[in-house]
Structure 1
């Protein structure tokens, strides 16, 4: 039998970046389109978590059982998370619950074109600041220029909606929610890098925590009439599609790919590699959703994209190192637990 192909760390890192950009672009367009259909933000979060849980909860239970059989098990979250309790909760709050709820709610107030600039655009800003504060990363002059352009671009996009807030507009709420979602995901990326979390284990952990924390609360609040839900009246096909794309696509596939990208490129460069997402998703919103592309939105898009590209062009900083090639090769060769 021929040996299984073993890919280099660079190949896996670039492949993970391509997958991440593709899924994130589709996520923005599809989430905005979903906001105009049957489901509420909480329904979308429920579909996302349940869709991912169908795959990741059994996977996590198997990893925990195997670790216990080998005598290397640590404290686990209900025997489902392969990470310790504290890390499961920390990663789960940032990368699981907060990001999903903030992002989905934002799409009910602001168009996808705003999300395409403010979410991937704010992500390098928050990640750089957190990396400098927590990981002691150095902010180079080029990266500082890139961050300045990103802030200026965000102001072009979100500034107008904030100015119209007193007139009763709602878009500014979505803009703030998008930027908050980006901050939440930046926190998750820093947790991944600081603790050296493996891609599959980290993705399982955030899903386990989100399922245990959100699903029971959602069910109780819905039954009590405190939270509105349209699951009972929504078409079954729509629910299944959201579980497949939001859960399997956005969480399982994109989550593992994003974490793999962080391991190779580091948290700051990983978020800046997503420079294609603002442009692709903004034009996707124009083409598929019929959203207008105003001059201020176009200017903000260009500034944010330029800022991200400036941030990529830097020398390797201390604390940002690729993962060993042997570990990546082992993962590519079929070791699901890394």
Structure 2
């Protein structure tokens, strides 16, 4: 009886983790579409970062004031990837990548490769083991991500220097995967991680804004409020917290697998919201990415056999 209760409790925990992961990826998929439209219209990448990290830094001030800017008890080897992996360095690398390559490639080359980076880190550093089903799921995800934009991005624009942007996108995905592994080993709660990462990222963006300027003061009030809602509250707080909860419940590699849904969500959202083309290749890629997530997530009910090296 006790064993059945434990199994039931574990299943509920996993289902809750999956739900949190899905909430996060839906928000991030919508964020890509909304941000793409905003950057093309009236916002700079620096402004996006100011709103995305400034809002949670203010809202969660009591949290980071209590825990401190450098929380005690967090292993030193975890601290840098925890603060940089999901914060300013992640955001700035994507933003700078967009100066070399089209923003449409972001969805394919960042969230589409995060699970692969997370799996590689888990395998080579933390000695995690993956069964054949999960490996197949990762391969299907990778193929779908490449089909959705990665392959064409690499081969069609290489002579124009777009490869610099692609490298930055891949670096961004690597940083986020590092954050996922660091967070689960940090001992921090989801809201603590959001608060501390946001305040450090807000400081970095504020320094850059003082140096290079910002267009936020000239934006109309209603547009600014919408940006605060989308960039700051939804993407900066809710998605961040729900993904962090998913990492705790599912593990970093399994939680990262759900981010491969973001390219599909962004592609569909771009088609319906801002009229971006969605051809047969994109549709096939969406099917592959979604199928890969379904296959790989079949292992979420299995306990990881990896060792904690920190």
Q: TM-score range by the shorter chain?
A: 0.7 to 0.9
Mark the CA change 1:132 to 1:24 in structure 2 (over 3 Å): closer, same or farther: same
Of 150, 159, 165, 2:151 maps to 159
2:6: which partner in 1? Answer: none
1:30: which partner in 2? Answer: 34
- What TM-score do the two structures reach when normalised by structure 2? 0.82
Per-residue CA shift, 1:91-133, capped at 9, x if unaligned? 1111111222233445564244x43333322111111001112
SS of match in other structure, 1:240: helix
Q: Does structure 1 conserve the Cα–Cα contact (< 8 Å) formed by 2:27 and 2:239?
A: yes
Q: Does structure 1 conserve the Cα–Cα contact (< 8 Å) formed by 2:22 and 2:258?
A: no
Q: Does structure 1 conserve the Cα–Cα contact (< 8 Å) formed by 2:43 and 2:215?
A: yes
d(CA) in 2 for partners of 1:149, 1:131 = 19
> Superposed, which structure 2 residues align to 1:137-286 within 5 Å?
137-156=128-147, 157-168=149-160, 170=162, 174-215=165-206, 217-222=207-212, 229-274=214-259, 276-286=261-271
SS of match in other structure, 2:303: coil
Mark the CA change 1:32 to 1:130 in structure 2 (over 3 Å): closer, same or farther: same
d(CA) in 2 for partners of 1:255, 1:320 = 25
d(CA) in 1 for partners of 2:112, 2:307 = 21
Of 31, 41, 57, 1:53 maps to 57
1:100 and 2:104 correspond: no
In our comparison, the structure showing a higher alpha carbon Rg is 1
SS of match in other structure, 1:291: coil
2:123: which partner in 1? Answer: 132
Report the alpha carbon displacement of residue 27 of structure 1 after superposing the two structures with TM. 1.1
d(CA) in 2 for partners of 1:241, 1:40 = 16
d(CA) in 1 for partners of 2:151, 2:75 = 40
- What TM-score do the two structures reach when normalised by structure 1? 0.76
Q: Does structure 1 conserve the Cα–Cα contact (< 8 Å) formed by 2:47 and 2:214?
A: yes
Unaligned runs of at least 5 residues, structure 2:
1-11
C-alpha RMSD over aligned residues: 2.9
Of 95, 110, 116, 2:102 maps to 110
d(CA) in 2 for partners of 1:105, 1:302 = 30
Report the alpha carbon displacement of residue 83 of structure 1 after superposing the two structures with TM. 6.5
Mark the CA change 1:179 to 1:308 in structure 2 (over 3 Å): closer, same or farther: farther
Unaligned runs of at least 5 residues, structure 1:
1-7, 65-75, 223-227, 322-338
Bigger mean CA offset, 291-300 vs 186-195 = 291-300
Count of paired positions: 294
d(CA) in 1 for partners of 2:72, 2:220 = 35
1:316: which partner in 2? Answer: 303
d(CA) in 2 for partners of 1:313, 1:85 = 32
1:298 and 2:302 correspond: no
Whichever structure has more helix as a proportion of its residues is 2
